[in-house]
Structure 1
Amino acid sequence: MPQIPDKLYFKIGEVAALLQLKTHVLRYWETEFTLLQPVKSRSNQRLYRRKDVETALLIKELLYQQGFTIAGARKKLNADKQLGLPLTVRQSNEDILAEIKADLVQLRNYLLDPPPP
């Protein structure tokens, strides 16, 4: 899962690069998923908030990793929203373990060679 930079707004090209998609795919998803509604600037440029980027990541996972159709993904997202479930991308066990391992290696390196006071 890509790391989302700590920014307030993202341009469509930035989101497309982050998700490794074409911009026209994001524009299409906006027409199919009511949860994906970026704001528009005065110059009519799409500005995605962090929540929009996370939603796009979830849509990508549902469609590409879990094999949902557009209609199926739309139904799942709407059902989860109605139930009050958080709309988040589920990480695989391998991804979670890789993150834990990286954190442990970083901690070990810090303990073996602490920075000077």
Structure 2
Amino acid sequence: MIDEYDEKTVSRWLEDGGDRTKTEILDALLRKKEVPPPALTKNGGRRVMKTLCNEANIEIDGEYLKPHGGRRRLGHELYASGKPEYAQQALRHQSIETTHEAYSDIKNEDVANVIDDVVGSD
């Protein structure tokens, strides 16, 4: 496997890599030699999320880059868009009541908006 290649050989591959970055060259080499990548760490996952957010011009706020924060955001978006059953399925809640509890702030906000609409129309 990759252990068979000494530092001199790897250095030559890096030099012959053209305009590609070292990471791109090494990634291609590891794929070619079918060397599995190491497991993704929590910090590695956050780096990937941060890179993707930067590339997509998404502002990062607080817990967003934490895995649970991303999960909560997905649930929030589904629930707020009127699809609590999808939120339940995506979050793997056993019951819809669990999902309703988790996002009761959205329900309370909806109720407040309806009250404001009713009171404001008088």
TM bracket, shorter-chain basis: under 0.3
TM-score normalised by structure 1 residue count: 0.28
Judging by fraction of residues, say which structure has more strand.
1
TM (norm. structure 2) is 0.27
Q: Which of the pair has the greater relative contact order for Cα pairs under 8 Å at 6+ separation?
A: 1
Between structure 1 and structure 2, the one with the greater Rg is: 2
Is the helix fraction higher in 1 or 2?
Answer: 2
